[in-house]
Amino acid sequence: MNYREYLSITPEVEKALSEGKPVVALESTILSHGMPYPENIEFAHKVEKIIRDEGAVPATLAIIAGKLKVGLNDEELELMCHGENIAKASRRDVAVYLANGQTAATTVATTMLIADMAGIRVFATGGIGGVHRGAQETMDISADLQEFANTAVCVVSAGCKSILDIGLTLEYLETYGVPVLGYQTKDFPAFYSETSGFGVDYEVKDAAEVAKILKTKWDLGLKGGVLVGNPIPHEYSMDHEVIDKVIDQALEMAKEKKIHGKATTPFLLATIKDLTGGDSLASNLQLAYNNARVASKIAVEFAKL
């Protein structure tokens, strides 16, 4: 495949990859579509620092002027955080945006895709997409799930976004043979909350165990990724029943405004933030920092193998 001509990798990330050092991928949708400026630029720098402090190299991914960017400099981070005329790219959009020289933020699916092309095996995000509530009628299922089925990247997240149908999301992942690991937990986390009422496939005790599972899976030639559910730290966890009521209210508002497709998640997250008086954003930040720490530990252990 001749995709290398479309990749633009920073010297730091390129050097780390060539030397077999740990690298952690980060998405850019959270910067362009998930947080206001300047909170997002502060968040971006803090996440990258957390990863460096754990001994890994951060690589924030994006599509800029028709290039798949692996690692962003300060100017590029500013561009993505200001979010002006920046699209949101899932797998179906990548070829169009590259061919037209566009700029776009990467979703979980696109970040996995580009990370795999670059040879990055570990990715930290907030929460993955999944099967939306009411998908039996709407068929609204995130492309993230198909990416897990096909792309060899380990994704560390605080479960899936609690605006989704968590049970159906886990069923979908099982159908496609995607291992769902609980990082020091038997419960699948629900983004803002530590637990969702659903279990994981396997509980893992530490980063070294995750790294061993990754190596074994890919040594066997088993395609696809691995989802590591890493619960939000206890002190930032929100009451499951309370956040569920807020989500139901936000979903009703989305229905009234006829919001669907790509616009759904940004609208719901912004509405939930308003309805919780900003508490949900604070939780969102802390779970993302926690995921970056755990992903870095896994990347460090995986690099040893």
Which residues have a catalytic role annotated?
27, 161
Q: How far is Cα 96 from Cα 89, in angstroms, rounded to an integer?
A: 10
The whole-angstrom distance between residue 294's C-alpha and the CA centroid of its chain comes to 13
Q: How far is Cα 300 from Cα 122, in angstroms, rounded to an integer?
A: 10
The C-alpha torsion from 177 through 181 and 186 to 187, rounded to 10°, is -80
Q: How does 242-271 read in b/e, with b if 16+ C-beta sit within 10 Å?
A: ebbebbeebbeebeeeebeebebbebbbbb
- Parallel/antiparallel/unpaired status of strands 23-26 and 57-64: parallel
Question: Please, what's the largest Cα pairwise distance for the chain?
Answer: 53
